[in-house]
């Protein structure tokens, strides 16, 4: 059970990311109008914008909350080749009745990338205050704040180069059999190779290296999300691509005592269009995916431990619905102008998905 709550976000351009904070009481949105908005939930569960500021000089792709142990800190990344870290400070109290004004101050700007920074994500808390960025030239950079009281210093700890441009990344929250597990996806469309990469910290070379590639996903990837792992022996990774994928990663040890990952990929084609965003609930029992058809789909695991599409949320204004006079009586169905996406030239017999 959950509360579906439509929110009219007054961003002037396309919204690219929505993120909750650790407690679920604050929400951050970023948009192509170059602003970041912080939403707070009041006592009646209504969301109000409490802060809005121009954060970058280009489209802001992603926003990420740090753990509240480090204060109210968010990170943003943008097309203007920078990623910024912001911290909330309490302003002066203008009168005794009003609450003090809150202001977000830029603590640092990370300018190492020479192309668009496509994703930014804080690491899990057990790694300290760590920040990973992915850029369009295929480089992943991991920054660390050595002093959490001074957020202006973020030296680069690791820099991993890839051949393909990267579009998204996700941290794994579990330390089972591998530490600092990181997944990245590429939205490159030309080459038919695997587009999901896995990185981990290597004790031998004392740096983050690429450990595996999910070769079953060869379409451009728009989002990856690790499921919150509270103690399972396998990791689940949701991949948004031309279809929706769930990848089960299980650590196995072969005869030579080398730890490697057993990858199992499950594919779902219900969206019939590119999937844009995926996110999990806090115990990884529900997956939410949004696609280009304007629908939000909720996936649940049934009693046979198989994922099923349990609900579809669809905006009413996606197209005018009417019943024109059919050319033949056998085609008396309600038509819908909902768009579908076909990138390839050949279109077979498409089954209606509503």
Partner 1 sequence: MSGNTHGLSWFPHFPDKFVSWGQEIHLYEVRRKDDHSQKSRLPYISVNYLANESRYQYARCVAASYHSDQPIIAVGLADGKVGICNFRDTYDSSWEYTPRQQRMCTCLAWNELDANILAIGHDRHRNDTCITIWDIERGVPKETANFFGVGESANSICWDRNHRTVIAGMSQKMIKLFDLRQSNATCQSIQTKTVQGLSVSPNGNYLCSYVDSVITLWDPRNIKSPLRQIQSSKNHLQIAWCPTRTSLLSSLQRDSSYITLYDIRSVDTDNSGEIYHVKRQISPFPARYQHSGKFSFVNCLSWHSRDFERALLLADALNILDFRLPATLHTAHSNRRKLPLLMQRPLYTPASPTSTAATPTQQQPTSSCSTNSGSSLDFSTPGGSPFNVDLLKPELFELDLVDETRQRALEDYGIKPDNKRFGELHLTPYLRNVWSTLNNVYSEDRLTGLKATLGINLGHTSEALMASSRIESQVLQWPEGINNSNKLICYRSEQRDLALQLCGWAFEQELDRFIDQLYANKEYSRAAMICVFHLKIFHACNILSSAADNMRDPSMYRITVIALSSFNADRCSSTWRNQRSSANMQIHDPHLRAVFSFLTMEKDNFDAVLKEEGVSLSDRMAFACKYLSETKLADYVAQQIQAAIDGGDLNGLLLTGESQDGIDILQSYMDTSFDVQTVALVAINYFRQELFEDKRIQYWIASYLDHLNSWGLWEKRAELDIKIESIRPSSRSSRTVFLSCNFCGKSVSNALLDEPRPRSTTTSTNRLSSCPSCRKPLPRCSLCLMHMGTMVNMSNGETPTTTPDVPGWQTKPFSKWFSWCQTCRHGGHTEHIMQWFKQNSECPVSSCNCRCFDMDGTKPNTLRDIS
Do the Cβ atoms of 83 and 76 come closer than 8 Å? yes
Least Cα distance to 148 among 69, 83, 74 occurs for 69
11 binds partner 1 (CB under 8 A): yes
Rounding to the nearest 10 degrees, give the CA dihedral for residues 114, 116, 117, 119: -150
Find the binder of partner 1 among 155, 192, 324, 329 (CB under 8 A).
Answer: 324
Site for partner 1 in 156-185 (CB under 8 A): 174-176
Phi-psi region of 113 (alpha: psi -120 to 50; beta: other; left: phi over 0): beta
Q: Name which of 258 and 351 has its Cβ closer to partner 1.
A: 351
Least Cα distance to 299 among 257, 324, 333, 267 occurs for 267
Find the binder of partner 1 among 212, 234, 260, 267 (CB under 8 A).
Answer: 234
The phi and psi torsions of 228 (rounded to 5 degrees) equal -60, 125
Contacts of 24 (CB under 8 A, 6+ apart): none
CA 314 to chain centre: 20
302 binds partner 1 (CB under 8 A): yes
Q: How far is the CB of 207 from partner 1 (least distance, A)?
A: 24
309 binds partner 1 (CB under 8 A): yes
Cα angle 20-26-30, degrees, rounded to a multiple of 5: 65
Q: How far is the CB of 24 from partner 1 (least distance, A)?
A: 4
Q: How far is the CB of 264 from partner 1 (least distance, A)?
A: 14
- Stretch of 164-172, 190-198, 212-220, 324-332 lying at the interface with partner 1 (CB under 8 A): 324-332
Long-range contacts of 287-293 (CB under 8 A, 24+ apart): 287/227, 287/238, 287/246, 289/238, 289/240, 289/244, 292/339, 292/341, 293/318, 293/338, 293/339, 293/340, 293/341
Site for partner 1 in 67-126 (CB under 8 A): 68, 71-72, 79-80, 90, 92-93, 100, 116
**What binding mask, one character per residue, do residues 244-273 give for partner 1 by CB under 8 A, x or -?**
------------------------------
283 binds partner 1 (CB under 8 A): yes
- Stretch of 104-112, 153-161, 231-239, 256-264 lying at the interface with partner 1 (CB under 8 A): 231-239
Q: Name which of 158 and 277 has its Cβ closer to partner 1.
A: 277
Find the binder of partner 1 among 35, 38, 51, 59 (CB under 8 A).
Answer: 59
In angstroms, the first-to-last Cα distance of the chain is: 22
Find the binder of partner 1 among 143, 159, 215, 337 (CB under 8 A).
Answer: 337
């Amino acid at each position: 059970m959950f509360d579906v709550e439509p929110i009219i976000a007054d961003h002037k351009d396309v919204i690219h990311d929505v993120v909750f904070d650790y407690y679920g009481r604050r929400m951050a949105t970023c948009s192509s109008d170059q602003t970041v908005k912080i939403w707070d939930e009041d006592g009646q569960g209504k969301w109000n914008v409490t802060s809005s500021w121009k954060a970058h000089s280009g489209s802001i792709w992603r926003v990420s909350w740090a753990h509240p142990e480090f204060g109210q800190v968010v990170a943003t990344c943008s097309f203007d080749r920078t990623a910024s870290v912001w911290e909330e400070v309490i302003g002066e109290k203008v009168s005794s009745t009003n609450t003090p004004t809150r202001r977000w101050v830029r603590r640092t700007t990370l300018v190492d990338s020479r192309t668009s920074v496509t994703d930014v994500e804080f690491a899990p808390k057990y790694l300290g205050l760590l920040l990973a960025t992915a850029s369009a030239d295929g480089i992943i950079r991991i920054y660390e704040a050595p002093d959490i009281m001074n957020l202006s210093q973020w030296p680069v700890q690791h820099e991993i180069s890839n051949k393909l441009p990267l579009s998204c990344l996700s941290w794994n929250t579990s330390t089972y059999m591998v530490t600092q597990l990181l997944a990245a996806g590429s939205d490159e469309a030309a080459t038919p190779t695997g587009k999901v990469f896995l990185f981990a910290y290597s004790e031998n070379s004392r740096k983050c290296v690429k450990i595996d590639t999910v070769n079953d996903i060869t379409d451009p990837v728009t989002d990856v999300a690790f499921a919150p792992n509270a103690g399972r022996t396998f990791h689940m990774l949701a991949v948004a691509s031309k279809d929706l994928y769930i990848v089960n990663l299980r650590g196995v040890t072969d005869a030579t005592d080398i730890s490697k990952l057993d990858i199992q990929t499950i594919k779902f084609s219900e969206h019939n269009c590119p999937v844009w965003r995926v996110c999990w609930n806090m115990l990884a029992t529900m997956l939410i995916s949004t696609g280009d058809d304007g629908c939000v789909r909720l996936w649940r695991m049934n009693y046979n431990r198989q994922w099923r599409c349990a609900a579809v949320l669809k905006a009413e204004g996606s197209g005018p619905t009417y019943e024109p006079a059919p050319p033949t009586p056998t085609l008396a169905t309600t038509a819908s102008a909902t768009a579908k996406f076909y990138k390839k030239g050949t279109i077979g017999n498409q089954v209606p998905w509503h």
